[in-house]
Amino acid sequence: MSKLFQHNQINESPKNAASLTLDNSQFASWRSQFYSLPLNRLAQNVCTASDPIKACLRQDAKTVAIPGKVRHELDNAIKATVDGPNWLCTGLDLLRLAMKKDCELSVAYLIYWHKLERCNYVLNSVIELLAQCEPLDGRTFQYLMKHTVPDGGNWQMFVNLVQKYGIMPKMCYLASWSSSRTLHLNKMLRSKLHEFSSQLHAQFTFDGDASNLPSMHMLMMEELYKIINICLGTPPLQFKWNFKNEDNVKSFTPMSFYQRLVAPFYSLDAQICLGHDPRLSSSYHRNYRIAYSSNMIDGLQQSYNNQPMDVLLEIMVSSLSAGSAVWLACDLHTIFNGKSEILSLDMHNFEQVFGMPLGMELNKAQRLVYKGTRRNTALLLTEVTLDALQQPLQFRTIAKATESVKKTQSHSSFQLTAMADGDVGSEAETQTESVKRKTAKGNRTALNVDWLREYAFEIVIDSRFVPPGVLHAAKTQPRVELPIWDPMGALLS
């Protein structure tokens, strides 16, 4: 009976599929209906000559400013760091806001250690998975092989790097660094990590256990260390630095620089991650952790306490009202995000052009389930506008700096000297110079609350602004582990 049922299914399958096959009669019918409406012809002419998303932009919604009763803005706002992955730039800008005297911090310095630690973390994860008898075509193993040394990261990765290696001024290490510098480095590291993973698997298969793999691991890391140093240069172990209008030059290590100029005013340990995941599989007030989401052995993995969006908005307002910036993870790769400086669900009218709604047919939970959205970008919020009832209307990010940089040899605003023997790639770029950035006034991204409700996923906030009940849940609730491929664990660009 079962064979007969299977036979009937096999015979009927092509017949059912054929009824759904596209053919010329369908094309002719659709073409006739399409061109019977003059508005379709107009929309076609406009969209084939320009960007279809721009064509749907509502002219009456381009105004960035929202009239509100109260506006809270940070007094010591700085220009955003732009020369690196935004999860690192945004994290460093948070530290800069805490410094009594501002200076640009080196993104390249953290990238160097991120690459080295991530390689070490991936090899260790491969050994762990082999010991757990994870198959090569297992989803976790395949994900790690695809995302071996990404430039992306998360807040916990940033904390891992700063707390272990400290920070340094931009001009002390690869001041002219750009993202293109690591393009070929990533390819070489990925190639070697795939090769080494294959060798670890072969040795594990030969031995039948993982006892010999740690010794192989260290030899592999020595080769990866060599590649990273050749491509990026070795960061200085010590440097001298003085701020503008100061005569005395002080000697620092990256860690002493962080401990003296940042740690007393901004505690990384006091920050708490709160997420918003409205899927039915995720409960509010519970803690979640993403497996294999770190860049450092024994380092923090991505974790957050899940809360309703109204709770997150309330906490964000409390923080900004008190003059404390908010680190935000959101989805900027949405259909609503063109080159506009305002993000709002009312910015576009797709029905007017296409005759149908686009982008909002699914709710936030459904888009997460069907891979229609995910966290991909970190932003630093420094301003909020409230209505008469003290409810948030719009948030704004830190002002963006242009990439135009002028260097002069006189009237220096700071001096520095690298002091690491044998360092490569830093000496030529650490000479006395002045860096002046041209910035566009008011060049900030505005995020309306309606947009945030749909595309904001995580905030990092000082625990003193978190309500006692939320803080208690974050500290006491057990952690539910989510797989590495969960959209809430997606790496930030």
pLDDT in tens, 222-254: 999 999 999 999 999 999 988 777 778 889 999
The pLDDT tens digits of the residues spanning 90-147 come to 999 999 999 988 889 999 999 999 999 999 999 999 999 999 999 999 999 999 999 9
Tokens of 230: 């050749």
pLDDT surpasses 90 at 463: yes
Residue 221 lies in a domain: yes
* pLDDT value at residue 264: 95
Tokens of 270: 């006091």
Nearest to 447 by CA among 66, 52, 55, 56: 66
User: Using an 8 Å Cβ cutoff, are 252 and 262 in contact?
Assistant: no
Tokens of 343: 């993000």
Q: Residue 178: which pLDDT band, with cuts at 50, 70 and 90?
A: confident
Q: Residue 271: which pLDDT band, with cuts at 50, 70 and 90?
A: very high
Residue 171 lies in a domain: yes
Strand partners, 446: 342, 396
Residue 349 lies in a domain: yes
Total domains in the fold of the chain: 1
User: Using an 8 Å Cβ cutoff, are 319 and 463 in contact?
Assistant: no
The pLDDT tens digits of the residues spanning 281-307 come to 999 999 999 999 999 999 999 999 999
Q: Residue 17: which pLDDT band, with cuts at 50, 70 and 90?
A: low
Residue 41 lies in a domain: no
DSSP for 353-377, written as a single string:
HHSS--S-SS-HHHHHHTTS----E
Q: Residue 440: which pLDDT band, with cuts at 50, 70 and 90?
A: very low
Residue 20 lies in a domain: no
CA 380 to chain CA centroid, Å, is 11
Helix (H), strand (E) at residue 238: none
* Highest mean pLDDT, choosing among 338-342, 432-436, 482-486: 482-486
pLDDT surpasses 90 at 351: no
* pLDDT value at residue 352: 85
Tokens of 19: 């009824």
* pLDDT value at residue 272: 97
Residue 437 lies in a domain: yes
Mean pLDDT lowest for which of 61-75, 320-334, 340-354, 432-446?
432-446
Residue 119 lies in a domain: yes
User: Using an 8 Å Cβ cutoff, are 57 and 293 in contact?
Assistant: no
User: Using an 8 Å Cβ cutoff, are 221 and 228 in contact?
Assistant: no
* pLDDT value at residue 18: 59
User: Using an 8 Å Cβ cutoff, are 326 and 272 in contact?
Assistant: no
CA atoms of 457 and 455, how far apart (whole Å):
6
Domain limits at 133?
Answer: 70-489
CA atoms of 89 and 83, how far apart (whole Å):
8
CATH number of the domain to which 472 belongs:
3.90.70.10
Residue 12 lies in a domain: no
* pLDDT value at residue 427: 38
- Cβ-count burial 453-492 (b if 16+ within 10 Å, e if not): bbbbbbbbbbeebbeeebbebbeeeeeebbebbbbbbbbb
Average pLDDT of the chain? 86
Report helix, strand or coil for 245: coil
